[in-house]
C-alpha cells in the first residue's frame, strides 16, 4: 500500500514546463525529502500535492483516493510553510485550533487536542500569545502544532527551517526528526539544504529543472550518486570534482593526478567495469572532502599525495583545507590537531575505495 | 531573495472569486465605460438643453476649437496642473523631510498639514476669497503692519488669478503628499542611510542622492492622485474665482459644466469632456501599463 | 397632493416669502415639498432640474424664467395652464410683454412672480455731497461726477466683478448710450450689424471707462458687498437691480434720505425688466395637476404678490394692484413699468436671461467680461468678437 | 538645540500657521457680530465671544422654506455617508482580496480598467446616471445617492485594498485553505483582521469624499433628504438680502466638523495605513 | 601598534545598559569576529566603531587617532550590512563608486578602481544592473565591492552572510576568507553563526549581554572555553553538558556516569588542580560530539560506555546519534559506516583527555 503516489505529473505555466513528468511513490510513515536548487519546482510539486496548484497532467493519489482535482480541504493533509504563515491576528491557541474549528470539532475536544499538541511541542506557556510575540523557533513550533492538531494522513513541509539561524536550525531539525519517529505520519519535506535532507529523510528525491535526478535513501544518494549533479548537490562542503586521465597500464586501471608540481599515477582497486572503455580518455574523478585526510593509519585502498595548502579553515571539530590537485581547488577535511601550515606542503591521504568517476560529457556516473 | 509563492489556484468550477468581483465589473462597464461611450456619442450630436442622440458630425468639435474660452481653459489646466503638481510634490516632500527629523510635536503638526484635505472648498471658499482679496486679506494685513507699498492682488488680476487657484489647491493637497512622503520615508531601510554615511556622504547629499530617488514609487502614487485632483478641480475654482476675472481662471471642468448645464449646449460640453478624457488617457494609460508590467518583472 | 417646488430662493427675505407661498398652498389642501438649490443665480438649480427631468421625475414646479421657458417648451415637458389662465383672466391681469414670456405656443405654461427693474443706479447722497458732485442723468455727467468722487478719495462706482454684474452694468450703459430701440436690435434680435456698429463700440468704450472708477477689490466681489460700500459711504453709486434695495432696508436706510434710487444715466425713460416665474411640468397624477393649478393661481393672487414683492424689493407682476404699502422706489418702478410699456421702451434684461437663450446670453457674457477685465482688447475687437460669439452660440 | 533644529522648527511652525489661517479666519468670523465683521480686519479678534451665530446656523437659519438650520441635514449626511462608506469599503476590500489572492485571467486588466475609471470627470456622468436612477426607480432617493457614491468610490477603495493585500503573503491564504477554510471564511477570519490600517485609510478617504460631496448630493437627492453640503450652500447663497457672514462661517465649520474630527482623531492611523501598504503603488 | 583599540566602551539607551565596558585591541591585518546570541550588543558595538551610534562612555581609537567623536566619514572605515543596504536607485557601478565620488576622486581613477574591484569579486558583467536585478549572492558581492573600493583602514561586516542560503553561505564564506588573505586589511566581523566565527576569524570575541565572555583564537575558544556559555555557544552541534558527581577514590579523581541502566566510574587522567575541591560534589562535564565516537583504535585516555541509541541522523560525512548519559541527551558523532541501530545498545568511546568541567553554580570552567 502506498501513502502517496504521484503519477507522471506535469505542470506548465503558460508555455514554461516547470515539472516534466514526476513519478513518486512512498509508503505510509515514510519521510520523503524533495531537494534541489532554487527554482527546480519543489514548491510547485508540494503545492500540487496540497491542492493549491492545479495539475496540468497526471494524477495524484493519497492513500487509495485520486485527489488530483480535490480541494485542499478535502485532501486530509496539513502543511507547514517556510514563512510559517501563522494567522497574525489569532493567539497561538486559536492558530492551532482554527483548522479544528472549521471542521466543526467540538470545543471540548479541541481543547484536548490543543493541550496534547502544545505539550508535545512544549509551547504550553505560549498559548495565549500572538505570533508577533514569538521568536523564530517558537513560531516554527506553532506552525508545526497547527499541522499536528489536524492529524492528517500526510504532512507537507516547505522549507520550514530556512528562516531560522544556524543554531536553531540544528535544534529544530532534531525535533522534527523525533516528532516523526514519535507520530509516525507520512511526511513530504521540501528543502534545499542537503544536511537537512540527509539527516531527516528516509527517502530523498533530488530534483533539477523539474525532473527527478535520483531517488533513494540518504546514504545511497550520498555514497552512490547517479550523476555529477546529485554528487555535487548533496554534501557540504561539496564533493570535489577533479578532471583527470584514465590509463590502463598492464591491465591495471590508473588515474593521473598532479599536485604541487609532481605527477602521480594512482591505481584504482575498485572494480568499475564501465571504466575500461575510458582508458586513455578524460574523466572526472569525484572525491568527498572527508575522504581526503591527513596521514594516519594506512587503509587498504588509500593513496598518498603531497599538496600545497592554500586555505585553512578550522571549523572546530574538523579543519578544512584547500589544496590544488590537477589544477582545481580541492577541499579536504582533516583533524583539527593535524599539523598544517599555509603554503606549505602537506601529505594527504585519498581514500580511493570511495572515489567515483563521471563521464565529462554526459556527467553520468561511470559504473 | 526568495520568490513569492504563487497565488492560490482555484480548483475547477470555483467561480466564487469571479462572482464576487462581477458586480464591480458590471458597474465599471456600465457606469464608467458605458457612460463614456454615451458622452462620446453626445459630442457628435446636436444636443442642447437636454441630450438628444442624433448624429451631427464633428460640428461640436469645430465649435469647440474655435472657442477662445476653451483655449483659455485648456491653457489654464496646463498651467494650473503643472504648477499645482510640482509645488505639491516639492512642498509635500520638504515638509515630510522636516517632519521626519524626530520633531517633538509631530502629531499635531502633521494633523495641521493634513486637515485641509478634510475640508471642501464649499466650506473654505469664502475664507479663501477674503484672504486673497486685496481690500480684506493679506494685502491689507501687511499694509496695516506698516508696509504701505505691499501689493498682493493676484485674485483680481487677470494674468495672476490662476496662481491664486494654485495656492489654494496646494494648500488643500500638499498635506496628502506630505503624508505619502512621510510614509515613504519611514519605509526606507535605515541601513541604506547608514551605508551612505559610512561612504562619507553628508545628510543633504544623502537626501538628494539616495532617499529622494528612493521615493520614486511614492511620487508616482502622488502623481496619480494629484493629476486626478487637478483635472477634476471644480469646487476649487468655482469657490475661489468663479472662473474670473472674466473667464481668466476657467478650466476644462468648469468650461464643460458651464456649457452643458448653464448654457444648454450639451453637445459642446460633451466635446470638451471628450478632449479632457483623451488628455487623461494619454497620461494615465502609459503609466498604468508600465506599472503593471514592472510588477510582473519583479516577481 | 404633494407639490414639489424647485427654487433657488433659500435664505433671508426670499426664503420667508416662499414660506408664505407654502402656507397659502397648504391652506388649499396641498403638501409643499420644498426643493431648494441655491447658488450662482440659479445655475445649480438648472443643473438639478435637468437631471430630474432626464431621470423622468421632474418636480411639479420649477423656477425658470425668460426665453428658457421656450427651450423647455421645445422639449415637450411643460404642463398647460390655459385652464386656470382662462378662468382667472390672466390676459387682462398681465401686461402683454410679461404674458408673452409666460406662454409657449400661445398657451400659458408659466406664471410670473414679480418684476424687477434692472437699470437702477443706487446713490449715496452723502458721498456726492462730500465730493461736491451732482447725481448724473447722462453718461457725460456721470464721468464728471465720478471724477469728483475719485478726486475726493472715495470709490465712485461700487462694482462686483462677476460676469453677471459686468453684464448688468453693460446693458445699462448700452441702454443709456444708444436707447431702447438699439438695445432691442442688439440684444433681442441679435442683429449682427447692431452688435458691431459704431454705437455699440461707443457703448463698449463708455463701459470700459467705468472700470477706472472702481476699486482694486472689485473682481469676484459679491454684489451685496458692493452695495454695502454704497451704504457705508465708501462708494458713491452702484448699478444694480432693485433687489439691492433689500440691503439698504436691512441696514435701516430710508430711500430719498439715506440713499437715492434713480435710473441709470440716460435710461430714465426706459425699463429693463427681469421677471421671475414658475414653470409647471407635465405630471400624470390628477391630484398633482390640480395642485399645480392651485399653485399657479396662488402665485398670481394679490396677497402673495404683495407679500413677496414687499420682501424682495421688486414690484408685482400683475397690474392694477394697490402700491400703498410699497416704498418710493417701488412706486416709481411700478409707474415706469406701465409708462414704458406704453412707450415701447420696456425691454427685457439681457444680463438676466430675459432677452435670449442661455447659450447666447453666455456668449455675450464671455465677450463682455473678457473685454471689461482686459486692457489689451480694443472696443472694436470686442464688438467683432461679440458678433462671432453670438453667431457660434446659435446652433 | 542646534541652529539647524531651530530652523526646522521655525519653518514647520510658520507653514503650520499659514495652513491654519483659513480655519482661523472662519472661526474668528463666526464669533463676531456683523458690525465687527464690517469694521474689523480678517484676523482681528472678536471683542467678546459670541456664539449666537453658531446657534443660528445649527438651529434657526433658513435653508429654503424651512428655517431649522443645519441640524436636520447633518443627520441626512450621516445617513448617506455611513452606508456609502461601509458598502464601498467592504466591496473594495473584497475586490482587493480577489485581485491579489484569487487572481484569474484578466484580473490585472480589470484592475487597470477600474483605475482609469477614477479619472472620469463627474460632470460627464450626471445626466446618464440620472436616467439610470430614474429607470431603477431610485431617482431622488437616499438609496440612489448612496449607490452613486458607492459606484464612484469603488475604484479608489479597490486600489487601496489591492495595494495593501499585495504585501500580505499568499501563504497565509494557502495555510487557511489547507486548514479547510473557504473563500469567505478566509476573508473574514484571516484577511479582515489584518486589514485595520488600510480600512482606516479607506474609511477616512471615502468619508471625506462623500461627506464633502456637493455635486452628487444636490443633483440626486431631493427635498428633506439633502446632505449638509447642499444645505450649507443654500444657507450661504442669498441672491437678495443680507449675508450673515458669521452664520455662514459657523455653518461651514459645523458642516466640516465631522471630517475635521476624523482627521484629527484618525490622522495618525492614516499615515500608518499609508506606510503599511498604500504607498507601494 | 594596534589597528583598533576599544577602551572601556559603554552604551546606554535610556536606562538600559546595552554594553558594559568593552575592551578590545587588535593588530593591523587581523580578522576580529564578534559573536554572540541575538541582542547581545554586537551590532551596537560595530555601529559605534563606525560612528553611527554615539559612545556613552569610553574611547575608540583607529590607528593612533581617537575617533570617539568623529563623523563616520572621517573615520576611514567601510562597512557591509546584513541587508546589504545597496542604494536601490543606482546601478552596481554607481553603488561602488559613490563613496569615491563623494571623496572627489577623479573620474578616471574611479573607473580604474571600479574595474579592479569588480574583477576581484567577479561582478564585471553586473556593473550596469540595478540591485533589484541581482540574486542574493550577487548583492552580497556588490556590498563588499562598495566597501573594498574605498580602501579603508578597517572593514566592518555586520552579519553579511545571514541572508544567504546554506550553500551560498559556505561559498561566500570562503571568498571572504580568501579576500582577507589577499587584501590584508583589518576586519571586524559580526556574526552569530559559530561556524563562520571559527572558520574566518584570527581572533574571536564571544559576547553575551553586553560583555565579552572570552577573546582568543578560534581553536583556543573551541578547545578551552572559559565558561559554559562560551563552550555551548561555539560548535555545532553544541557541546554536551552532563551533570555528574566527582569522587576522589584512592587519590584518583573519578566521575560517575550512568548509561543504559549501568553505572560507570571513569578515571580522570587530565590534571585539573581545581577539580580536587569538588570531590563529592556535583559538577557539569562538557564533551563535544566528535569526542564521543564509535569503538575504534584505543587511545591513551579514552573510556568506553554502552549507550542506547535514541536518534540517528546521518549527515553524509558523519552520522550523529543521540544517546542518554546521566539522563541527559548526548549527541555523538560517529563514522557513517559504523554500525548502529535505533533503540539498540552501542558501545561508544569518550575521549576523556578533551573533557572539560564546569562549576554548576557559576558555570565557570574548572581548571
Ligand atoms: N505562477 C507562476 N507563473 C509562472 N512561473 C512560475 C509560477 N510559480 C512558479 N513558477 C516558476 O516555476 C519554477 C519552479 O518554482 P518553485 O517555486 O516550485 O521552485 P522551488 O524549487 O520551490 O524553488 P525555491 O527553492 O526557490 O523555493 C520556477 O522557475 C518559477 O519561476
Ligand atoms: N535604539 C535603541 N533603543 C533601545 N534599545 C536598543 C536600541 N538599539 C538596540 N537596542 C537594544 O540593544 C541590545 C543590543 O542590540 P544589538 O542590535 O546590538 O544586538 P545584536 O547583538 O546585533 O543582535 P542581532 O544578532 O539580533 O543582530 C538589544 O537588546 C536591543 O534591544
Ligand atoms: Mg520553494
Ligand atoms: Mg545585529
Mean pLDDT split into 10-residue runs, chain D, 281 residues:
83 90 86 76 76 82 77 89 94 92 84 80 84 86 91 88 85 88 89 89 89 86 82 75 79 89 82 63 39
CB within 8 Å: A50 and D193: no
- From the candidates C25, C34, C38, which should be mutated to test the interface with D, based on the most D CB atoms within 10 A? C38
Q: Using CA atoms, how far apart are residues B93 and D248, in angstroms rounded to an integer?
A: 35
Conformation bin of residue C313: beta by default, left when phi > 0, alpha when psi is -120 to 50: left
The most confident of B7-16, D84-93, D209-218, E287-296, by mean pLDDT? D84-93
Per-residue pLDDT tens digits for E46-92: 999 999 989 999 999 998 899 999 888 888 899 998 888 888 888 99
CB within 8 Å: B11 and A43: no
Residue minimizing CA distance to atom 8 of ligand 2: E44
CATH of range D72-227+248-278; options 3.30.950.10, 1.10.3720.10, 3.40.50.150, 1.10.760.10: 1.10.3720.10
Picking from A39, A43, A51, the nearest residue to B11 by CB comes out as: A51
Query: Please, what's the largest Cα pairwise distance for chain A?
Result: 80
CB within 8 Å: A166 and E315: no
Residues whose Cβ atom is located within 5 A of ion ligand 3: A 43
CB within 8 Å: B11 and A54: yes
Closest to A50 in 3D by CA, of D102, D168, D186, D171: D171
Ligand 1 closest atom vs CA A47: 18
D185 by DSSP, 3-state: which? helix
Q: Is the Cβ of A283 closer than 8 Å to some Cβ of chain D?
A: no
A-chain residues near B3 (CB < 8 A): 39
Say what the ipTM of the complex is. Answer: 0.83
Closest to B218 in 3D by CA, of B248, B247, B188, B246: B188
Q: What is the DSSP string of A10-26?
A: EEEETTEEEEEEEEEEE
Q: What is the DSSP string of E57-69?
A: EEEEEETTEE-TT
The pLDDT of residue B7:
45
Q: How is residue B245 written as a grid cell?
A: 476675472
Other beta carbons less than 10 A from residue B23's beta carbon? 15
CB within 8 Å: B194 and E73: no
The pLDDT of residue D277:
57
Q: How is residue B228 written as a grid cell?
A: 486626478
Residue minimizing CA distance to atom 14 of ligand 1: A41
- H-run or E-run covering A363: none
Q: b vs e for E53-86, b when ≥16 Cβ sit within 10 Å of the residue's Cβ?
A: bebeebebbbeeeebbeeebbebbbbbbbbbbbb
The pLDDT of residue B11:
46
Tell me the average pLDDT across C255-282: 89
Ligand 1 contacts (CB < 6 A) are A 13, 16, 18, 36, 38-44, 192; B 3, 6
pLDDT for B9 beyond 70: no
Contacts of B278 (CB under 8 A, 6+ apart): none
Counting ligands in written order, the one closest to the CA of A54 is 1
Q: What is the mean pLDDT of chain E?
A: 88
Do B169 and B104 contact (CB within 8 A), yes or no? no
Do E197 and E161 contact (CB within 8 A), yes or no? no
If one residue of B1, B4, B6 were mutated to test the ligand 1 pocket, choosing by the most ligand atoms within 8 A of its CB, it would be: B6
Picking from D219, D234, D243, the nearest residue to C10 by CB comes out as: D234
Residue entry with cell 559610512: B198
The most confident of C178-182, D80-84, D161-165, E299-303, by mean pLDDT? D80-84
Residue minimizing CA distance to atom 5 of ligand 1: A13
Counting ligands in written order, the one closest to the CA of A15 is 1
The pLDDT of residue A225:
93
Domain E240-366 belongs to what topology?
OB fold (Dihydrolipoamide Acetyltransferase, E2P) (2.40.50)
Ligand 1 closest atom vs CA A11: 12
Would you list the domain boundaries of chain A?
A: 4-233, 240-366
A partners (3+ CB pairs within 8 A) are B, D, E
Three-class DSSP labels, chain C: CEEEEEECCCCHHHHHHHHHHHHHHHHCCCEEEEEECCCHHHHHHHHHHHHHHHCCCCCCEEECCCCHHHHHHHCCCECCCHHHHHHHCHHHHCCHHHHHHHEECCEECEEECEEEECCEEEECHHHHHHHCCCCCCCHHHHHHHHHHHHHCCCEEECCCECHHHHHHHHHHHHHHHHHHHHHHHHHHCCCHHHHCCHHHHHHHHHHHHHHHHCCCCCECCCHHHHHHHHHCCCEEEEECCHHHHHHHHHCCCCECCCEEEEECCCCCCCEEEECCEEEEECCCCHHHHHHHHHHHHHHCCHHHHHHHHHHHCCEECCCCCCCCCCCHHHHHHHHHHHHHHHHCCEEECCCCCCCCCHHHHHHHHHHHHHHHHCCCCCHHHHHHHHHHHHHHHHC
> Which domains are delineated in chain B?
68-298 (1.10.3720.10)
With touching defined as 3 or more inter-chain CB pairs under 8 Å, the answer for chains D and E is no
Per-residue pLDDT tens digits for B50-95: 888 888 888 889 888 888 888 988 899 889 999 999 999 999 999 9
D partners (3+ CB pairs within 8 A) are A, B, C
How far is CA C65 from its chain centroid? 10
pLDDT for E294 beyond 80: yes
Q: How far is A279 from chain E (nearest CA, A)?
A: 30
Do D240 and D255 contact (CB within 8 A), yes or no? no
Q: List Cα–Cα distances, D31 to A106, D20, D35, D244, in angstroms.
A: 65, 17, 12, 12
Would you list the domain boundaries of chain D?
A: 72-227+248-278
Q: List Cα–Cα distances, E282 to B275, C112, E250, E267, E355, in angstroms.
A: 91, 113, 19, 16, 16
Picking from D151, D158, D280, the nearest residue to B217 by CB comes out as: D280
Q: Is the Cβ of E70 closer than 8 Å to some Cβ of chain B?
A: no
- CA Rg value for chain B: 24
Do A210 and A20 contact (CB within 8 A), yes or no? yes
Per-residue pLDDT tens digits for C13-31: 777 788 888 888 888 888 8
Dihedral pair phi/psi, residue C298, rounded to 5°: -65, -45
The most confident of A357-361, C14-18, C33-37, D101-105, by mean pLDDT? A357-361
Helices (H) and strands (E) in chain E, counts: 8, 20
Tell me the average pLDDT across C79-96: 86
Q: Is the Cβ of A41 closer than 8 Å to some Cβ of chain B?
A: no
If one residue of E20, E42, E213 were mutated to test the ligand 2 pocket, choosing by the most ligand atoms within 8 A of its CB, it would be: E42
Q: How far is C249 from chain D (nearest CA, A)?
A: 9
B-chain residues near D233 (CB < 8 A): 122
Peptide bond connecting D182 to the previous residue in cis, omega within 30 degrees of 0: no
The pLDDT of residue B184:
86
Q: Is the Cβ of D264 closer than 8 Å to some Cβ of chain B?
A: yes
Q: List Cα–Cα distances, D140 to B255, C50, D127, D131, D208, in angstroms.
A: 26, 13, 13, 11, 22
Counting ligands in written order, the one closest to the CA of E47 is 2
Q: How is residue E111 written as a grid cell?
A: 573607473
Per-residue pLDDT tens digits for B204-219: 888 888 888 888 878 8
pLDDT for A249 beyond 90: no
Torsion of CA E85, E87, E92, E98, to 10 degrees: -110
How far is CA E152 from its chain centroid? 24
Per-residue pLDDT tens digits for A94-119: 999 998 988 888 999 999 999 988 88
At E166, the pLDDT band (50, 70, 90 cuts) reads low
Q: Is the Cβ of B140 closer than 8 Å to some Cβ of chain C?
A: no
Chain A CA closest to residue D179: A99
Do A87 and D176 contact (CB within 8 A), yes or no? yes
A-chain residues near E216 (CB < 8 A): none
At C204, the pLDDT band (50, 70, 90 cuts) reads very high
Ligand 1 closest atom vs CA A14: 4
Residue entry with cell 452606508: D83
The pLDDT of residue C40:
64
Residue entry with cell 530534483: A207
pLDDT for B40 beyond 70: yes
Counting ligands in written order, the one closest to the CA of E192 is 2
Residue-level length of chain E? 367
Closest to B79 in 3D by CA, of B286, B217, B237: B237
pLDDT for A45 beyond 90: yes
A-chain residues near B11 (CB < 8 A): 51, 54, 69-71
Tell me the average pLDDT across C22-41: 83
Tell me the average pLDDT across E22-33: 93
> How far does chain C reach from its first CA to its final CA, in angstroms?
40
pLDDT for B8 beyond 50: no
CB within 8 Å: B9 and A53: yes
How many Cβ contacts (< 8 angstroms) between chains B and E?
69
Q: List Cα–Cα distances, A42 to A49, A73, A207, in angstroms.
A: 11, 21, 7
Ligand 2 closest atom vs CA E41: 18
Per-residue pLDDT tens digits for B241-254: 777 777 888 888 88
The pLDDT of residue B294:
55
Q: Using CA atoms, how far apart are residues E189 and E4, in angstroms rounded to an integer?
A: 13
Contacts of A272 (CB under 8 A, 6+ apart): A253, A357, A366, A367
Least confident of A267-276, B112-121, C358-367, D34-43: D34-43
Output the CA E172–ligand 3 centroid distance in Å: 22
Cα angle: E335, vertex E340, E344; to 5 degrees = 150
Tell me the average pLDDT across E110-119: 89
Tell me the average pLDDT across C144-167: 90
Residue minimizing CA distance to atom 30 of ligand 2: E39
Q: Using CA atoms, how far apart are residues D145 and B200, in angstroms rounded to an integer?
A: 59
At B10, the pLDDT band (50, 70, 90 cuts) reads very low
B-chain residues near A71 (CB < 8 A): 11
Picking from C46, C74, C161, the nearest residue to B261 by CB comes out as: C46
Amino acid at each position: 500500500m502506498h501513502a502517496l503516489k504521484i503519477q507522471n505529473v506535469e505542470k506548465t505555466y503558460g508555455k514554461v514546463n516547470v515539472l516534466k513528468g514526476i513519478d513518486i511513490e512512498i509508503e505510509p510513515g515514510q519521510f520523503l525529502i524533495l531537494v534541489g536548487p532554487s527554482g527546480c519546482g519543489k514548491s510547485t510539486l508540494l503545492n500540487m500535492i496540497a491542492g493549491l496548484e492545479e495539475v496540468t497532467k497526471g494524477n495524484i493519489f493519497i492513500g487509495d483516493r485520486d485527489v488530483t482535482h480535490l480541494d485542499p480541504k478535502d485532501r486530509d493533509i496539513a502543511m507547514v510553510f517556510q514563512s510559517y504563515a501563522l494567522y497574525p491576528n489569532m493567539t497561538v491557541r486559536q492558530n492551532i485550533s482554527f483548522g479544528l474549528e472549521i471542521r466543526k470539532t467540538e470545543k471540548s475536544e479541541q481543547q484536548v487536542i490543543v493541550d496534547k499538541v502544545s505539550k508535545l511541542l512544549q509551547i504550553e506557556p505560549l498559548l495565549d500569545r500572538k505570533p508577533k510575540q514569538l521568536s523564530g523557533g517558537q513560531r516554527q513550533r506553532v506552525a508545526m502544532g497547527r499541522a499536528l492538531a489536524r492529524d492528517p494522513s500526510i504532512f507537507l513541509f516547505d522549507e520550514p527551517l530556512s528562516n531560522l539561524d544556524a543554531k536553531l536550525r540544528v535544534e529544530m531539525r532534531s525535533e522534527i526528526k523525533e516528532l516523526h519517529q514519535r507520530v509516525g505520519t507520512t511526511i513530504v519535506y521540501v528543502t534545499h539544504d542537503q544536511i537537512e535532507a540527509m539527516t531527516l529523510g528516509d527517502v530523498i528525491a533530488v530534483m533539477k529543472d523539474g525532473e527527478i535526478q535520483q531517488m533513494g535513501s540518504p546514504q545511497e544518494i550520498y555514497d552512490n550518486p547517479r550523476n555529477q549533479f546529485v554528487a555535487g548537490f548533496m554534501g557540504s562542503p561539496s564533493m570535489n570534482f577533479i578532471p583527470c586521465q584514465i590509463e590502463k597500464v598492464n591491465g591495471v586501471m590508473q588515474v593521473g593526478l598532479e599536485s604541487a608540481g609532481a605527477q602521480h599515477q594512482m591505481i584504482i582497486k575498485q572494480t568499475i567495469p564501465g571504466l575500461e572503455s575510458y582508458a586513455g580518455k578524460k574523466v572526472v574523478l569525484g572525491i568527498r572532502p572527508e575522504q581526503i585526510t591527513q596521514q594516519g593509519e594506512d587503509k587498504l585502498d588509500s593513496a598518498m599525495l603531497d599538496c600545497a595548502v592554500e586555505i585553512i579553515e578550522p571549523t572546530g571539530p574538523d579543519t578544512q583545507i584547500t589544496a590544488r590537485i590537477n589544477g582545481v581547488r580541492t577541499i579536504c577535511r582533516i583533524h583539527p590537531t593535524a599539523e598544517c601550515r599555509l603554503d606549505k606542503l602537506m601529505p594527504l591521504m585519498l581514500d580511493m575505495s570511495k572515489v567515483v568517476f563521471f563521464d565529462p560529457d554526459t556527467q553520468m556516473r561511470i559504473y | 531573495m526568495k520568490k513569492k509563492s504563487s497565488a492560490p489556484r482555484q480548483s475547477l468550477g470555483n467561480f466564487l472569486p469571479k462572482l464576487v468581483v462581477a458586480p464591480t465589473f458590471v458597474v465599471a462597464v456600465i457606469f464608467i465605460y458605458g457612460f463614456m461611450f454615451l458622452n462620446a456619442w453626445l459630442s457628435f450630436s446636436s444636443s442642447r438643453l437636454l441630450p438628444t442622440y442624433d448624429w451631427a458630425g464633428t460640428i461640436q468639435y469645430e465649435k469647440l476649437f474655435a472657442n477662445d474660452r476653451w483655449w483659455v481653459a485648456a491653457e489654464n489646466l496646463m498651467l494650473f496642473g503643472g504648477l499645482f503638481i510640482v509645488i505639491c510634490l516639492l512642498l509635500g516632500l520638504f515638509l515630510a523631510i522636516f517632519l521626519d527629523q524626530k520633531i517633538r510635536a509631530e502629531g499635531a503638526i502633521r494633523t495641521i498639514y493634513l486637515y485641509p484635505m478634510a475640508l471642501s472648498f464649499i466650506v473654505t471658499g469664502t475664507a479663501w476669497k477674503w484672504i486673497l482679496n486685496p481690500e480684506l486679506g493679506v494685502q491689507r494685513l501687511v499694509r496695516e503692519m506698516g508696509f504701505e507699498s505691499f501689493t498682493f492682488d493676484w485674485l483680481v488680476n487677470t494674468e495672476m488669478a490662476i496662481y491664486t487657484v494654485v495656492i489654494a489647491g496646494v494648500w488643500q493637497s500638499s498635506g496628502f503628499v506630505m503624508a505619502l512622503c512621510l510614509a515613504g520615508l519611514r519605509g526606507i531601510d535605515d541601513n541604506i542611510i547608514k551605508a551612505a554615511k559610512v561612504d562619507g556622504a553628508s545628510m543633504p547629499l544623502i537626501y538628494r542622492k539616495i532617499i529622494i530617488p528612493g521615493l520614486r514609487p511614492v511620487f508616482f502614487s502622488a502623481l496619480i492622485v494629484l493629476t486626478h485632483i487637478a483635472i477634476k478641480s471644480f469646487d476649487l475654482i468655482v469657490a475661489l474665482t468663479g472662473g474670473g476675472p472674466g473667464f481668466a481662471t476657467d478650466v476644462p471642468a468648469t468650461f464643460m459644466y458651464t456649457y452643458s448645464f448653464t448654457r444648454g449646449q450639451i453637445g459642446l460640453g460633451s466635446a470638451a469632456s471628450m478632449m479632457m478624457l483623451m488628455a487623461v488617457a494619454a497620461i494615465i494609460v502609459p503609466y498604468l501599463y508600465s506599472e503593471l508590467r514592472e510588477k510582473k518583472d519583479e516577481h | 397632493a404633494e407639490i414639489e417646488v424647485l427654487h433657488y430662493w433659500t435664505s433671508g427675505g426670499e426664503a420667508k416669502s416662499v414660506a408664505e407661498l407654502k402656507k397659502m398652498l397648504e391652506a388649499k389642501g396641498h403638501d409643499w415639498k420644498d426643493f431648494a438649490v441655491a447658488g450662482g443665480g440659479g445655475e445649480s438649480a438648472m443643473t438639478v432640474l435637468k437631471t430630474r427631468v432626464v431621470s423622468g421625475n421632474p418636480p411639479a414646479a420649477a423656477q425658470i424664467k425668460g426665453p428658457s421657458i421656450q427651450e423647455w417648451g421645445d422639449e415637450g415637458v411643460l404642463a398647460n395652464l390655459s385652464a386656470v389662465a382662462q378662468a382667472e383672466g390672466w390676459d387682462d391681469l398681465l401686461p402683454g410683454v410679461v404674458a408673452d414670456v409666460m406662454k409657449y405656443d400661445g398657451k400659458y405654461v408659466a406664471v410670473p412672480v414679480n418684476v424687477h427693474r434692472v437699470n437702477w443706479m443706487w446713490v449715496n447722497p452723502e458721498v456726492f455731497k462730500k465730493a461736491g458732485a451732482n447725481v448724473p442723468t447722462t453718461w457725460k455727467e456721470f464721468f464728471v461726477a465720478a471724477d469728483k468722487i475719485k478726486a475726493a478719495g472715495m470709490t465712485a462706482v461700487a462694482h462686483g466683478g462677476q460676469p453677471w454684474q459686468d453684464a448688468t452694468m453693460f446693458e445699462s450703459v448700452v441702454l443709456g448710450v444708444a436707447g431702447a430701440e438699439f438695445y432691442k436690435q442688439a440684444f433681442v434680435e441679435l442683429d449682427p450689424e447692431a452688435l458691431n456698429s459704431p454705437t455699440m463700440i461707443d457703448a463698449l468704450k463708455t463701459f470700459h471707462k467705468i472700470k477706472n472708477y472702481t476699486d482694486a477689490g472689485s473682481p469676484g466681489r459679491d454684489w451685496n458687498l458692493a452695495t454695502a460700500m454704497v451704504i457705508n459711504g465708501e462708494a458713491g453709486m452702484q448699478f444694480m437691480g432693485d433687489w439691492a434695495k433689500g440691503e439698504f432696508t436691512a441696514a435701516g436706510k430710508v430711500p430719498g434720505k439715506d440713499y437715492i434710487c434713480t435710473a441709470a444715466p440716460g435710461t430714465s425713460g426706459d425699463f429693463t425688466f427681469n421677471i421671475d416665474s414658475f414653470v409647471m411640468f407635465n405630471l400624470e397624477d390628477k391630484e398633482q395637476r390640480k395642485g399645480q393649478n392651485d399653485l399657479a393661481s396662488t402665485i398670481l393672487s394679490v396677497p402673495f404678490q404683495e407679500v413677496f414683492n414687499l420682501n424682495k424689493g421688486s414690484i408685482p407682476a400683475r397690474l392694477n394692484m394697490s402700491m400703498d404699502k410699497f416704498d418710493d422706489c417701488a412706486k416709481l418702478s411700478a409707474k415706469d413699468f406701465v409708462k414704458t410699456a406704453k412707450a415701447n421702451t420696456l425691454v427685457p434684461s439681457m444680463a438676466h436671461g430675459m432677452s435670449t437663450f442661455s447659450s447666447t446670453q453666455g456668449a455675450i457674457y464671455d465677450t463682455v467680461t473678457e473685454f471689461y477685465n482686459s486692457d489689451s482688447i480694443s472696443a472694436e475687437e470686442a464688438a467683432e468678437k461679440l458678433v462671432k460669439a453670438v453667431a457660434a452660440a446659435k446652433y | 538645540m542646534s541652529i539647524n533644529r531651530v530652523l526646522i522648527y521655525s519653518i514647520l511652525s510658520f507653514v503650520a500657521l499659514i495652513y491654519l489661517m483659513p480655519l482661523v479666519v472662519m472661526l474668528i468670523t463666526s464669533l463676531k457680530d456683523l458690525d465687527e465683521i464690517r469694521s474689523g480686519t480678517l484676523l482681528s479678534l472678536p471683542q467678546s465671544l459670541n456664539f449666537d451665530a453658531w446657534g443660528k446656523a445649527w438651529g434657526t437659519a433658513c435653508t429654503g422654506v424651512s428655517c431649522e438650520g443645519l441640524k436636520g441635514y447633518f443627520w441626512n449626511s450621516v445617513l448617506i455617508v455611513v452606508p456609502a462608506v461601509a458598502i464601498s469599503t467592504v466591496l473594495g476590500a473584497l475586490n482587493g482580496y480577489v485581485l491579489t489572492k484569487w487572481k484569474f485571467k484578466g484580473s490585472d486588466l480589470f484592475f487597470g480598467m477600474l483605475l482609469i475609471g477614477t479619472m472620469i470627470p463627474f460632470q460627464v456622468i450626471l445626466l446618464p446616471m440620472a436616467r439610470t436612477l430614474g429607470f431603477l426607480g431610485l431617482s431622488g432617493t437616499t438609496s440612489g445617492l448612496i449607490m452613486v457614491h458607492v459606484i464612484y468610490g469603488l475604484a479608489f477603495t479597490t486600489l487601496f485594498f489591492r495595494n495593501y493585500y499585495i504585501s500580505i503573503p499568499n501563504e497565509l491564504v494557502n495555510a487557511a485553505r489547507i486548514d479547510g477554510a473557504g473563500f469567505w471564511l478566509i476573508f473574514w477570519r484571516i484577511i479582515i483582521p489584518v486589514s485595520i490600517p488600510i480600512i482606516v485609510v479607506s474609511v477616512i478617504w471615502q468619508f471625506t469624499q462623500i461627506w464633502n460631496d456637493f455635486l452628487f448630493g444636490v443633483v440626486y437627492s431631493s427635498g428633506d433628504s439633502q446632505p449638509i453640503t447642499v444645505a450649507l450652500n443654500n444657507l450661504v447663497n442669498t441672491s437678495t438680502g443680507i449675508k450673515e457672514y458669521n452664520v455662514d462661517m459657523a455653518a461651514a465649520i459645523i458642516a466640516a466638523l465631522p471630517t475635521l474630527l476624523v482627521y484629527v482623531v484618525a490622522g495618525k492611523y492614516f499615515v500608518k495605513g499609508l506606510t503599511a501598504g498604500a504607498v507601494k503603488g
